Chain A
Amino acid sequence: MTSLETKSLLFAHFANKTTPLQQRMIEEWLKDEANQERFYVWLVEWENQLPVYQPELEAPLQQFVAHMSASQVADNEQDTRESEPEETPVVTLNPTRFWWMAVAASVLVIIALGGWFNRNRVLYQTYQTAYGETRTLQLSDGSTVTLNAHSSLRVPRFGFGRMRPGRAAFGDRSREVQLVGEAYFSIQHKVDNQKFVVKTANGFDVIVHGTEFTVSTRMHRANVMLRKGKVQVDYGVGKTRKQLMLRPGDLVTLNQPDRPQLRHRVSAQPYSAWTEHRFVFDNMTLAEFGQLLTDNYGLRVEIPDSSTAKRTLVGSFQANNADELLQTVSELFDLTVTRQADTVLLEARN
């Protein structure tokens, strides 16, 4: 076979126009390592001749060059930067701080008088959403939180975002919230790098360094999806805690608290889609979909046929309530929906 013949054979192969016998020939030919090099030379040539679209080069190139220059500079400075521990800033007692301390002190007195059993009500503000309701809150430090349906967030009433870690009064509990359910966080970065911690009852905490992300502590899908910035997930059972640093695009699933599953380069959109009444399903089984209806709308879903329950959903749908969502899904799968009060029966249509 001459070089020209081989080349046209490969071009045909790249265009998926070869027969199995020709493919066998190519495979034999590829056993020579020099030919593997030729394969890529011709692949580049073919792609350049018959591109499926024209990618823009300049902008990504500039970004890449900027990244390279920046990381080179960072390399030089790394020694000094990396060794610096995270310092807690020196705190001086200014009038506002004093005032807040006074308030906190008097509150403590009230609590002491009012009895311990009521202390959570006094110390914490709890935001709750009903089934089918989503709500956006602005916290006193400027962070915003969107709560998904049937979720609650407990925020300290006093000293939130003001007390710095290391201060004795309330310990370093400031900017520490407790989540049950699912929420989307957009955290205000503090000049002093003060941490924001999301505590969950599922055996993991999320420690934030200024960022946007989603946390879910639902029964069957506890996860954290990072959209921007940097967060650290602190997980484990009992005393043995482990840390996992997330990069943007990372999704960590913690259905078993000590065995996180990490995926990179996940599109963040599906995990915050509910903030705009959008549902995004990525290989979700109908059974899992039923669980989602339970979490968000308090509906009990029954799927008697197990093979129906295993069918999977992919896609993104807009729905303002449970009925719209059920309608879309039943249309897609050709299901009959029987709804009685809070119980929904899904069956394949015959």
Chain B
Amino acid sequence: MRAAFTVHVTDADAAPQPGIHIDTMKEPDLVDRPDNETLPDTELFIRRAFDTDPQKGCELLFRLYYKPMCTHAVRFVYSKEIAEDLVADVFYTFWNTQAYMSVNRSFRAFLFRSVRNRAYNYLANEFRKSDSLDSAAQQETALSNGPESMMRYNELYQKVDELVAALPPQCRNVFILNRFEGKRAKDIAQDMQLSVRTVEVHIARALATLRDGLRNQWFIIGLISWLGNVLDTLI
């Protein structure tokens, strides 16, 4: 399921960037690699940088992965602002805890696992009642590996897309303007010539739909990442 919609940008002072732009017609270019078995180590250069100056290394990683991480996180949380906050948080933690010292596979996999995990936690916290102190702390570290959870993360944003796509058109437009573009209810009401109350009710309905629709997701993913962690500690 792919959400097919376009959003016009009405901000006069915004840079001429597209809003949500998903082109369903264009297929990505697939370039066959001559070597089927090994991937070129694109991070070799960054690894070298970390050996001499970790700060430089982090900066390079930020340059390389910040954008794709943001555009990935936004598929889960449906808000540019939250997505960018989550990604920044991943990088700040990466630096503050010197996590780069213990990355044994690629930085790419580490960073993307972290951001997917955080996006999941964010959604879980936003659309579920608050947890106790203990389980909140536990979730922070629940960075799961393994094929099952990798697949579940994709299912999660697929589910979010489906739920948003299934909203009534006006409700969906209002929700995307408010949540994704970060516009205020008052401005949306003016642009769409609706009352502020209608806009607020639309937003509330959309959030309620998401919460109800995602209700079953938490249990499954939570269980799988928990199992994954238990297995990790056993092995």
- Decide if A350 is an interface residue (CB 8 Å cutoff): no
CA distance A313 to B158 in the complex (A): 25
Bound complex: CA A88 to CA B184 (Å): 46
**Cβ contact within 8 Å between B18 and A53:** yes
**Alpha-carbon distance A55/B127, docked complex (angstroms):** 25
Question: Is B62 a contact partner of A315 (Cβ separation < 8 A)?
Answer: no
CB-CB contacts below 8 Å: A313-343 with B: 313-318, 328, 331-332
Which listed residue, A263, A281, A313, A315, touches B136 by the CB 8 Å rule?
A263
Question: A85 in the interface, Cβ–Cβ < 8 Å?
Answer: no
| Interface hit among A25-33, A118-126, A294-302 | A25-33
Mostly helix, strand, loop or mixed at chain B's interface? Answer: helix
Q: Give complex CA distance A312, B109 in Å.
A: 38
A331 to B201 alpha-carbon distance, docked (Å) = 8
Contact A72 B105 (CB under 8 A): no
Q: Which residues of B contact A41 (CB under 8 A)?
A: 39, 42, 108
Q: In the bound complex, how far is the Cα of B86 from the Cα of A55, in angstroms? A: 13
Contact B74 A52 (CB under 8 A): yes
The answer to whether B197 and A48 have CB atoms under 8 Å apart is: no
Interface residues of A in 11-37 (CB under 8 A from B): 11, 13-17, 23, 26-28, 30-31, 33, 36-37
Task: Map CB proximity to B onto A47-58 as digits: 1 under 8 Å, 0 otherwise.
Answer: 111111111010
- Are B80 and A15 within 8 A (Cβ)? no
Binds A, one of B25-33, B44-52, B226-234: B25-33
Residue of B nearest to A253 (CB): B130
Contact B28 A50, beta carbon cutoff 8 Å = yes
Q: How large is the interface on A (under 10, 10 to 19, 20 to 34, 35 or more residues)?
A: 35 or more
A261/B132 in contact, CB under 8 A: yes
Is the CB–CB distance between B70 and A55 below 8 Å? Answer: yes
> Given that A17-B2, A40-B108 are known contacts, is A317 also in contact with B150, CB under 8 Å in the complex?
no
* Bound: A46/B28 CA distance, A: 8
Q: Is A8 an interface residue (CB 8 A)?
A: yes
A54 touching B17 by the CB < 8 A rule?
A: yes
Chain A's closest residue to B203 (CB) is: A315
Q: Is B131 an interface residue (CB 8 A)?
A: yes
Q: Assign chain B's interface to a size class.
A: 35 or more
Q: Which one, B112, B161, B197, contacts A43 given CB within 8 A?
A: B112
B61-101: CB near A (< 8 Å → 1, else 0) gives 01101111111101100001001110011011001100000
- On chain A, the residues within 8 Å of B69 by CB distance are 47
- Evaluate contact between B66 and A61: CB separation under 8 angstroms: yes
Asked whether A67 lies within 8 Å of B95 as measured between CB atoms, the reply is: yes
Assess whether A264 is interfacial by the CB under 8 Å rule.
yes
Q: A328 touches which one: B68, B109, B151, B200 (CB < 8 A)?
A: B200
Contacts of B26 in A (CB 8 A): 50
B103 within 8 A of A: no
Partner pick for A261 among B70, B72, B85, B130, CB 8 A cutoff: B130
Top 8 closest A-B pairs, CB basis? Answer: A315-B204, A30-B147, A47-B68, A55-B70, A51-B71, A314-B207, A16-B158, A4-B32
Chain B residues with a Cβ under 8 A of chain A: 1-2, 17-23, 26, 28-30, 32-33, 36, 39, 42, 55, 58-59, 62-63, 65-72, 74-75, 80, 83-85, 88-89, 91-92, 95-96, 105-106, 108-109, 112-113, 122, 125, 127-133, 136, 145, 147-148, 150-151, 154, 157-158, 161, 185, 196-197, 200-201, 203-205, 207-208, 211
A positions within 8 Å CB-CB of B = 2-4, 7-8, 11, 13-17, 23, 26-28, 30-31, 33, 36-41, 43-44, 46-55, 57, 60-61, 63-65, 67-69, 71-72, 253, 259-265, 281, 283, 312-318, 328, 331-332
17 new A-B contacts, CB < 8 A, other than A53-B20, A60-B62, A315-B203, are A3-B32, A11-B28, A11-B30, A17-B2, A27-B151, A30-B147, A36-B147, A37-B108, A41-B42, A43-B72, A50-B23, A51-B67, A55-B67, A261-B131, A262-B133, A283-B128, A315-B201
Q: What are 15 A-B contacts with C-beta separation under 8 Å?
A: A11-B30, A16-B158, A26-B147, A30-B150, A40-B108, A43-B72, A53-B80, A55-B66, A55-B67, A57-B63, A65-B55, A67-B95, A261-B136, A283-B211, A315-B201
